[in-house]
Structure 1
C-alpha cells in the first residue's frame, strides 16, 4: 500500500488527537472519580528495559527505574496511538480520513485493547488480560472503556481535521 505524505499527516494528526482524547478521559477519571488508569512512567520503564533484553517483569513497579522514564512513557504512548491510527487506512483505505465513519473508528479502538491485554500487561507482570491484578474485571472494563474512547477520539479527530482543512481552504 502506498501511503502519501498527506495521508501520513492525517494519520499523525488523527492518532495524536485520539490519544489526547484518551488523556482527557484519563484526567477526568482521576479528577472526578480518583481512578488512576495508567502510569506512563511505568510504560516508559518497560520500554526503557527493552534495549537491555528485558521484556518480562514480575512486577514492573518493582523493576529498576529508568532515567527519563516518564518522558519515554509519554513519547511511547503517543507513538502507539499514532501507530494504531494507521489501521484505519490499512483496513478502510485513505478515503476514510476524508469521510470518517464512526463504526470503523470504534472497531479500531476496540481492537487496540488486544495490545495491552496480550502484550503489555503480561510483560509488566499483570498477566494476560490483567489476570494477576487485584481486581482483574475492573481493569478489563477500564481497558475496554478507554480504548473505545480512543476509537471515538479517532472519529472526532478526523472530523475536526476535516473541518480545519475546509476552513483553511475557505479562507484562502
Structure 2
C-alpha cells in the first residue's frame, strides 16, 4: 500500500512553495508599481506648482510694464492670491547699463502657513519656485490708464457709406 502511494503522480496543482514564490513576485511588482505611481503624482503636483509660480511671475512683469508710472530700481516684495492659494513674490529692478532699458527679475514662492514672511534683507535667500526675467524700455510711453470705447456704436462709419454689396461705396458698382 505504501508503494502504491509513492508511484502515484500528484495531481497537476501547484505546491505551497510555488504559490509562495508567485505571491512574492507579485508583491514586488505591485510595490514597484505603487512607488512609480506615487512618484508620478509628486512630479505632477510639483510641475503644477511650478507652472503657477511662473505664470504669477509673468503676470507681475506685465503689471509693471502696464503700470502708469515707471518703477524705481531696487527690490520689492508682495503677496498675491492665485489658484486658491497665497503666493509671495519678490521683484528686483536693475539697470543693466543700456540706456533706456531696465531689467526686471521676478521670483515667486508659495506662502506656506508655517513659513516666515520674506526677510527685509535684500540679500536674504528667497526659495523661488518660479522665475521670470523681463525688460522695460523707456522708448515706449507708459500706459495712460484710459480705456478706449470698443463698442460698435463708437466705431466710425466706413468710407463711401454703409458699404453694402453693390452699393455706392463698393468698387465696380454700376459698371456693367
TM-score by length of 2: 0.25
Give the structure, 1 or 2, with the largest relative contact order (CA under 8 Å, sep 6 or more): 1
TM-score by length of 1: 0.26
Greater C-alpha Rg: 2
